[in-house]
């Protein structure tokens, strides 16, 4: 594929490669330092066809369906002009690709099982077998120990390792888990106890399985009770990724945005019963309803917004792992836009000039503007609020559902797996 005979990088198969996420990851593989495109695996209807024609036809269909004002097509990479779509049987028979990234629908999960049985290591975002305890569920920043343990076991039992599928969670969970882990790691807050999330998910999360326009254009589409089990997935995934979390509440909605999910997140910490209110500076001794179980010097106050921000910005659990797709910063914290600075003149012009009302601030983060940090692999956090009456902290997250939440999730797992295996003494 495209001069592969002279390319020393490891070839990988893209399963579901003609789908929206599969097409997106191919763009990333053009310049990937360790992996190259080995095969694009499509359905029987596309096998044997030029990848370029399938790619462009599907991109055009999305633009035609949702309209050019909303949907911007991806451009086909010229480096892959010679690539033709393969069947899974061809990939298994050729035995060139020993690693695969899978983006298939769950009803086609037998493809992943067949690849695993043939000795191909599969890194998948598909819900197929996602909750099977034999398959690691991994977000490397949130539970790096999962792949470390799986790699260690793989050396002892290579046959079973090949059959094991490395799974990524739902696209929302891929981003929210990173933010929650940053807070969970702050010991003085006791860890995350309860989480409530409300998602406003973009249309690209549905890929080429387009929604009827009347459902989603100029509308908000609730996902509960539909064929999309988004809320169910997110709840189970967060509890598996972070076993210390006790309760999770999820509300999920689709909105007419091409890319980028906006998620409202609200958190209660386990240490909250022992906190002193921040405005209670008069009690230096143990006492009062929030401090009665603590000894002298152990009293903590509810986190401030600055402390929450610092926890996000300092979070870097993979700092020592040189992974090509890893963002330099896992979390960007975006404040409210700076207030309008009046150009009415200096103070000497009088009070009326200085007191001209400024326009309202613009709320952040926003999917359209804030989903491309670090090539879409970093999440963006904003609207940090520690004055909520019901929760200890509330904030918003923007997750790039195509990169961080889909192809990037599988790619990062594949890179981390490769790194861990290669560094074994």
Q: What is the pLDDT of residue 302?
A: 87
Residue 277 pLDDT exceeds 80: no
Three-state DSSP state, 340: coil
According to DSSP, the β-strands at 99-102 and 121-124 are parallel
**In 131-273, where does DSSP find H-type helix?**
144-156, 158-163, 171-184, 213-216, 230-241
Does the pLDDT at position 343 exceed 80? Answer: no
- 20 burial via Cβ count (<10 Å: 0-12, 13-18, 19+): buried
Residues 6+ apart with CB under 8 A from 245: 180, 192, 193, 194, 195, 238, 239
CA proximity to 44, closest of 14, 89, 93, 1? 89
pLDDT confidence bin for 423, thresholds 50/70/90: confident
* Token couple for 385: 């609020």
Q: Which of 138-147, 219-228, 333-342, 347-356 shows the lowest mean pLDDT across its residues?
A: 347-356
Instruction: Residue count of the chain, please give it.
Output: 425
Model pLDDT, residue 283: 38
Three-class SS string for 20-43?
A: HHHHHHHHHHCCCCCEEEEEEECC
| Mean pLDDT, residues 195-201 taken together | 98
Question: Distance between CA atoms of 19 and 13, rounded to whole angstroms?
Answer: 14
CB 171 within 8 A of CB 205: yes
pLDDT of residue 286: 31
Arithmetic mean of pLDDT, 386-398: 96
- Has residue 292 got a pLDDT over 50? no
Q: Can you tell me the distance from the alpha carbon of 408 to that of 35, in angstroms, rounded to the nearest whole number?
A: 13
pLDDT computed for residue 353 by the predictor: 47
Radius of gyration of the chain (CA): 24
pLDDT tier, 118 (very low <50, low <70, confident <90, very high otherwise): very high
More confident residue, 104 or 344: 104
- Alpha-carbon distance of 174 to 138, in angstroms, equals 9
Q: State the pLDDT at residue 348.
A: 45
Longest dimension (CA), the chain: 82
- Answer yes or no: is pLDDT of 73 > 70: yes
CB 249 within 8 A of CB 266: no
Query: CA 137, CA 124: separation in Å to the nearest integer?
Result: 10
In the prediction, which pLDDT does 362 show?
76
| Percentage of the chain exceeding pLDDT 70 | 85
Report d(CA 324, CA 118) in Å as an integer: 27
pLDDT surpassing 90 at residue 306: yes
Give the model's pLDDT for residue 360.
64
Mean pLDDT of the chain: 88
- In tens, the pLDDT along 344-391 reads 444 444 444 455 565 666 788 999 999 999 999 999 999 999 999 999
Q: pLDDT value at position 336?
A: 67
Question: Does residue 290 or residue 13 have the better pLDDT?
Answer: 13
Q: Are strands 379-385 and 393-399 parallel, antiparallel or unpaired?
A: antiparallel
State the pLDDT confidence band at 100, using cuts at 50, 70 and 90.
Answer: very high
pLDDT category at 253 given cuts 50, 70, 90 is: very high
Q: Stretch 254-276: mean pLDDT, rounded?
A: 91
Both ends of the chain: CA-CA distance in Å? 34
Q: What is the pTM of this model?
A: 0.88
pLDDT at 157 over 90: no
Quick one: pLDDT band at residue 246, thresholds 50, 70, 90?
Answer: very high
Place of tokens 């009415």: 344
Is the pLDDT score of 50 beyond 70? yes
Q: How much is the pLDDT for 153? A: 87
Q: What is the pLDDT of residue 119?
A: 92
Average pLDDT over residues 127-144: 96
Kindly report the CA angle at 414 between 413 and 415, in degrees rounded to 5? 90
Which residues, in sequence order, are CB contacts of 296 under 8 Å at separation 6+?
Answer: 285, 286
């Amino acid at each position: 594929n495209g001069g592969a005979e002279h390319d020393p990088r490891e070839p990988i198969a893209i399963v579901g490669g003609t789908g929206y996420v599969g097409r997106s990851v191919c763009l990333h593989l053009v310049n990937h330092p360790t992996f190259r495109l080995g095969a694009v695996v499509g359905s029987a209807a596309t096998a044997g066809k030029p990848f370029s024609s399938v790619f462009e036809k599907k991109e055009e269909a999305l633009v035609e369906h949702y309209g050019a004002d909303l949907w911007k097509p991806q451009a086909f990479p010229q480096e892959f002009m010679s690539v033709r779509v393969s069947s899974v049987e061809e990939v298994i028979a050729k035995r060139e690709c020993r690693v695969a990234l899978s983006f298939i629908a769950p009803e086609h999960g037998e493809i992943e099982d067949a690849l695993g049985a043939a000795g191909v290591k599969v890194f998948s975002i598909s819900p197929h077998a996602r909750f099977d305890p034999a398959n690691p569920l991994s977000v490397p920043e949130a539970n790096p120990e999962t792949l470390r343990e799986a790699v260690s076991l793989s050396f002892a039992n290579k046959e079973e390792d090949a059959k094991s599928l490395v799974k990524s969670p739902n696209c929302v969970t891929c981003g929210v888990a990173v933010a929650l882990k940053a807070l969970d790691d702050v010991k003085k807050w006791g860890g995350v106890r309860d989480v409530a999330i409300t998602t406003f998910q973009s249309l690209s999360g549905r890929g080429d399985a387009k929604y009827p326009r009347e459902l989603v254009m100029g509308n908000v589409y609730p996902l509960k009770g539909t064929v999309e089990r988004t809320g169910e997935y997110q709840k189970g995934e967060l509890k598996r990724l972070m076993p210390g979390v006790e309760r999770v509440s999820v509300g999920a909605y689709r909105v007419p945005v091409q890319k980028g999910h906006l998620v409202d997140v609200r958190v209660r910490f386990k240490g909250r019963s022992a906190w002193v209110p921040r405005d209670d500076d008069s009690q230096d001794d143990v006492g009062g309803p929030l401090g009665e179980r603590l000894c002298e010097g152990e009293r903590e106050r509810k986190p401030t917004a600055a402390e929450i921000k610092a926890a996000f910005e300092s979070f870097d659990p993979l700092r020592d792992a040189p992974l090509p797709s890893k963002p330099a910063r896992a979390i960007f914290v975006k404040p409210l836009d700076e207030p309008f600075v009046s150009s009415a003149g200096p103070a000497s012009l009088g009070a009326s000039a200085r007191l001209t009302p400024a326009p309202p601030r613009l709320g952040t983060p926003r999917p359209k503007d804030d989903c491309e940090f670090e090539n879409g692999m970093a999440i963006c956090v904003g609207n940090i609020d520690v004055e909520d009456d019901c929760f200890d902290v509330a904030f918003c997250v923007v997750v790039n559902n195509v990169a961080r939440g889909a192809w990037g999730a599988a790619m990062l797992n594949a890179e981390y797996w490769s790194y861990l295996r290669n560094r074994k003494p």
